[in-house]
Amino acid sequence: PTLPIHSRPSASRSRRGMFTWFGEFQEVPWAPAWFAEMDFDLGYTTVVLAHVTFCFPFVLVAVQARLAGIDPALEEAAQDLGATPLRAFWHVMVPYMLPAIISGALMAFTLSLDEIIITFFTAGPESQTLPLKIFGRVRKGLDPSLNAISSVFILVTALLVVLSEQLKRSQR
């Protein structure tokens, strides 16, 4: 669906003396109207759709930056050696893009945890995500469970950094 935007036709005289008409009728794609017509109930589905829509550009930028430096001859060489285009993609391109995909996924995860507003407006009454629960507890007042959740996040992050470094060293 589109949202019609009507504006009054206006004539303006150019320097050459011609009349031009502007703004007779325009149609602008209106995503919220389309989304409303899909008749989604607010819940986990709408939260996931909203977060994917919000985070996709960040993943795309990471993958595009990685693809900018690839030599196209790698995929061609795999096909010259007998690989199908699909097999060349999975065995040559995907391993090359994997660091960018992982970094994009981690960035998307971090942004999703941080975007309480998107979650607040797209979650239904029965769908409580961790950021919504934390936000609700903070509004009531600080309690020890918030400290415990924060400690778990810090420990998991530190553990992932240590595992990442060990994985890097083992590949060398």
> What is the pLDDT at residue 33?
61
What distance in Å separates the CA atoms of residue 89 and residue 132, rounded to the nearest whole number? 40
Q: For all residues of the chain together, what is the average pLDDT? A: 77
Percent of the chain at pLDDT above 90?
6
* Strands in the chain per DSSP E: 2-5, 10-13, 19-22, 26-29
Find tokens 């004539």 and name the residue: 11
Residue 62 has, within 13 A of its CA and on its CB side, a CA count of 17
Distance of CA 98 to CAs 66, 86, 94, 107, 112, Å?
9, 16, 6, 14, 21
Please state the rounded mean pLDDT for residues 21-29: 41
Please state the rounded mean pLDDT for residues 40-56: 85
Whether residue 68 is predicted with pLDDT greater than 80 in this model: the reply is yes
> What is the pLDDT at residue 159?
92
Using one digit for the tens of pLDDT, what is the confidence trace for 70-97? 888 888 899 999 999 899 999 988 988 8
Q: How confident is the model at residue 11 (pLDDT cuts 50, 70, 90)?
A: very low
> What is the pLDDT at residue 15?
38
Whether residue 168 is predicted with pLDDT greater than 90 in this model: the reply is no
0.85 exceeded by pTM: no
Whether residue 155 is predicted with pLDDT greater than 90 in this model: the reply is yes
> What is the pLDDT at residue 147?
84
> What is the pLDDT at residue 8?
43
